[in-house]
Amino acid sequence: MSTCAKVSRDLEEPLAGTAATARTWLLVEQPGPWGAAALTSSHLDPVLGRALERAAEGTGVRVALIRRPGRHADCRKVAERQVYAAHTAPENVWLHSATTSDPGQLLTLDFAALGRGLSGSFDTALDGRPHAGDPLALVCTNGKRDRCCALLGRPLAAELAASGVSGAWEVTHLGGHRFSPTLLVLPFGYAYGRAGAHAVKEVLHGVREGRVVTEGCRGSSAWERPGQAAELAVRTAVGEDAAGALSVVRTEGAVPHWEVTVAHTDGRHWLVSVGQGASQPPRAESCGSALGSPARMDVTAVRELSRTGAQGTTGPATR
């Protein structure tokens, strides 16, 4: 059977710069079936779902539904739901958790403040607190959006849970169906594609040690896509795996070319040239869609700047 994920893998489509963009994630447990637009086509009250979409719009917060891996009983009444909020910007990474019996409480959150990295309204409204458990491994399994997410994502989520990964959850949508199985890891917010259980466990082990595994990485959700590709290119060029070491501090340009400045906490800076190309030959971005040429991020140069590089002086190229 030919699927969008198989075609993408066979064509070796690059993963870097394809992660969903969200500086803050709000994750709400909703068991049972999900439709394609899960916030308004699940057993969550669709009026509440639409209100959450409106509240999050333009704030940098992305709302998604989660459920535990396994069979999904069609239960309409949920006594208590798990809720997580996570901010992924390197200078202020956090993951807080709470439970609620009234999902309507979510509308009392200050979404603009959450998007800026302030957790106060989450903790106040939901009695939230810093998450003390394992990092979260969120696997996209929403087959109503694309069959690859169900065919490839659900077995991965089930295998992780069965092997004792307590932070394993299914999630409604991470974008990039053709990279299934897709995964988001919190608190750091790095997304992965074509993930296998062994690789995911390596990623989670890295998270516990404060490291980023770059193999199979699509990028950090904290950055726009040129920044995602640029940051991963710098990590590869200099062998940096510390999770909070790099930040995207400036992006100049527009489609199809950007100059991205990536900064290290030790004071080093790099200027990364990123171009947007069209993937060839044409392929479907999702199962059942028409053939197209998805945009891809191509890094063409990584140049380390001198200590005065912010004013335009460059040192020798590192790539």
Q: How does pLDDT run across 151-208, given as a tens digit for each residue?
A: 999 999 999 999 999 999 999 989 888 999 999 999 999 999 999 999 999 999 999 9
For residue range 18-41, what is the model confidence (pLDDT) as tens digits?
A: 999 999 999 999 999 999 898 999
Q: What is the pLDDT of residue 308?
A: 53
Give, for 162, the enclosing helix (H) or strand (E).
Answer: helix 154-162
Whether the per-residue pLDDT at 101 is higher than 50: the answer is yes
Whether the per-residue pLDDT at 244 is higher than 50: the answer is yes
Q: What is the pLDDT of residue 11?
A: 92
- Among 36, 291, 310, which residue's Cα sits nearest to residue 172? 36
Whether the per-residue pLDDT at 318 is higher than 80: the answer is no
What is the average pLDDT across 237-245?
A: 97
Task: Give the model's confidence band at 306: pLDDT under 50 very low, under 70 low, under 90 confident, else very high.
Answer: confident
Residues in the chain: 319
Q: What is the pLDDT of residue 309?
A: 47
Q: Which two tokens stand for residue 242?
A: 């510390």
What is the average pLDDT across 95-107?
A: 97
Is the distance from CB of 38 to CB of 29 less than 8 angstroms? no
Is the distance from CB of 14 to CB of 232 less than 8 angstroms? no
Average pLDDT, the chain: 92
In sequence order, which residues have a C-beta less than 8 Å from that of residue 37 and are 6 or more positions away? none
Q: What is the pLDDT of residue 74?
A: 63
Q: What percent of the chain has pLDDT over 90?
A: 85
Q: What are phi and psi of 162, to 5 degrees?
A: -65, -25
What is the average pLDDT across 80-91?
A: 97
Is the distance from CB of 191 to CB of 163 less than 8 angstroms? no
Helix (H, G, I), strand (E, B) or coil at 290: coil
For residue range 146-163, what is the model confidence (pLDDT) as tens digits?
A: 889 989 999 999 999 999
What is the average pLDDT across 278-289?
A: 89
Q: What is the pLDDT of residue 70?
A: 80
Whether the per-residue pLDDT at 319 is higher than 50: the answer is no
What is the average pLDDT across 62-69?
A: 96
Q: What is the pLDDT of residue 173?
A: 87
